[in-house]
C-alpha cells in the first residue's frame, strides 16, 4: 500500500482528500499541530510545528509522495499588514520546512503535489481566457500565488516531480462558498455581488478529488495545472442557478460593490473581480471532469 504525506489535511479540502485516498487504497499520514488519537484504518496523525521548525520524522516513513494543502484562509479577515504577512508565511514557511526535512534527511520523495490558486493571474475581470503560460498578475493575490509556487518548485532541485494545482473556487457541500451561500439561497435571497458580470472559475470538490487521484498515478507528470471546471460562469449565473437548485427565484438586487468594500476592504476584489481560466492542459493528459457544469455540481451537492 502506497503511503502519502498530507500537510494541511484537516481543512475543508484536506478532510475530503484524506477520506477519498483511503477509500481508493492509499495509506495517509497527516501533519497537524495537534495530533488526534482518533485515527482510523489507513490514516495516522503526526505532529509538526512551523514556529519551532520541527516535524515528527516518523511522518515520512515509507512515504514517496507529499500533498501540500497548507495556508491560512485567505478570506478569514481583512488584509491588514499583519494579516498579509500571515497569509504569505503560512504558505511559504510550511513548504520551506518540508523541503528542509527532505533535503537534510535525504528522503526519497518522488512527487509533491502543491497548491496555488487562479488568483495567480490577477484579480480583475477581462474576456481573456488564462492558461498556465499566462503572466502573473500584479496585485496581492497574484503575489501570494507567485511566492507560494516558488516555494514548491524548490523540490525540483531534489529530483522530486513537482505538480502545482491552481485551483478555482471549490464547490462542495460542507465547506467553502457553497456552505456560506446555500442557506441564503434557500431563503430566496440573491447572493450575487457587484455587477455580477465577473467570472467565477470553479471546480467541484468531487472532480478535485479525482484530479488528485489521477495525478498520483501519472508517472511523468510535473508542472502547473489549472484545476477549474470546463464551464465558464459569471457570478450572476452562479447565483441564479444556486437559487433554482432550491426551487427559488429572487427579485432582490445584487449586493452593491461599495458595501463589500466597506466590509472587507481590499479583500473584496476576491468577490468583485474574476476572469475565465482554461483547463485544457489537464484535459489533454486524459483527465475527465464529471461534474462539468455548475448545474450538475449544485444538484449533486444539494441532494
Q: Cβ distance 158 to 109 under 8 Å?
A: yes
| Residue 78 confidence (pLDDT) | 85
Phi, psi of 34 (to 5 degrees): -130, 90
* C-alpha gyration radius of the chain: 19
- Read off the C-alpha cell for 13: 479540502
- pTM, two decimals, is 0.94
Q: How far apart are CA 223 and CA 213, in angstroms?
A: 16
The CA–CA distances, whole Å, from 220 to 87, 215, 232 equal 32, 9, 29
Pairing label, strands 169-171, 161-167: unpaired
Q: Cβ distance 228 to 203 under 8 Å?
A: yes
Q: Nearest 5°: CA angle at 201, between 275 and 8?
A: 125
| Residue 79 confidence (pLDDT) | 87
Q: How far apart are CA 162 and CA 192, in angstroms?
A: 37
Q: Among all chains, which residue has been given the C-alpha cell 489521477?
A: 214
Q: Cβ distance 118 to 134 under 8 Å?
A: no
| Residue 201 confidence (pLDDT) | 96
H helices of 31-156, in order, are 81-104, 140-152
Tens-digit pLDDT string for the chain (303 aa): 699 999 998 889 999 999 999 999 999 999 998 776 556 778 999 999 988 999 999 999 999 999 999 988 888 888 898 999 999 999 999 999 999 999 999 999 999 999 999 999 998 899 999 999 999 999 999 999 999 999 999 999 999 999 999 999 999 988 888 988 999 999 999 999 999 999 999 999 999 999 999 999 999 999 999 999 999 999 999 999 999 999 999 888 999 898 888 877 888 888 889 999 999 999 999 999 999 999 999 888 875
Amino acid at each position: 500500500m502506497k503511503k502519502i504525506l498530507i500537510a494541511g489535511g484537516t481543512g475543508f479540502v484536506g478532510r475530503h482528500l484524506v477520506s477519498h485516498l483511503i477509500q481508493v487504497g492509499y495509506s495517509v499520514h497527516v501533519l497537524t499541530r495537534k495530533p488526534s488519537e482518533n485515527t482510523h484504518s489507513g490514516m495516522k496523525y503526526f505532529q509538526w510545528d512551523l514556529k519551532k521548525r520541527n516535524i515528527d520524522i516518523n511522518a515520512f516513513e515509507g512515504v514517496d509522495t507529499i500533498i501540500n494543502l497548507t495556508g491560512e484562509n485567505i478570506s478569514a479577515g481583512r488584509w491588514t499588514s499583519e494579516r498579509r504577512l500571515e497569509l504569505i508565511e503560512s504558505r511559504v514557511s510550511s513548504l520551506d520546512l518540508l523541503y528542509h526535512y527532505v533535503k537534510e534527511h535525504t528522503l526519497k520523495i518522488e512527487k509533491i503535489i502543491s497548491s496555488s490558486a487562479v488568483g495567480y493571474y490577477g484579480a480583475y475581470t477581462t474576456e481573456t481566457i488564462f492558461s498556465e503560460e499566462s503572466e502573473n498578475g500584479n496585485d496581492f493575490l497574484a503575489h501570494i500565488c507567485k511566492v507560494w509556487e516558488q516555494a514548491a518548485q524548490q523540490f525540483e532541485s531534489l529530483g522530486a516531480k513537482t505538480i502545482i494545482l491552481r485551483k478555482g473556487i471549490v464547490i462542495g457541500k460542507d465547506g467553502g462558498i457553497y456552505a456560506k451561500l446555500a442557506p441564503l439561497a434557500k431563503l430566496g435571497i440573491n447572493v450575487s455581488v457587484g455587477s455580477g458580470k465577473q467570472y467565477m472559475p470553479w471546480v467541484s470538490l468531487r472532480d478535485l478529488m479525482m484530479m488528485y487521484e489521477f495525478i498520483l498515478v501519472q508517472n511523468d507528470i510535473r508542472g502547473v495545472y489549472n484545476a477549474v471546471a470546463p464551464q465558464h460562469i459569471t457570478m450572476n449565473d452562479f447565483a441564479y442557478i444556486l437559487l433554482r437548485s432550491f426551487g427559488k427565484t429572487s427579485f432582490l438586487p445584487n449586493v452593491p460593490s461599495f458595501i463589500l468594500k466597506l466590509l472587507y476592504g481590499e479583500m473584496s476584489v476576491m468577490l468583485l473581480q474574476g476572469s475565465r481560466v482554461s483547463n485544457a492542459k489537464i484535459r489533454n493528459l486524459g483527465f475527465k471532469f464529471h461534474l462539468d457544469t455548475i448545474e450538475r455540481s449544485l444538484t449533486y451537492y444539494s441532494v
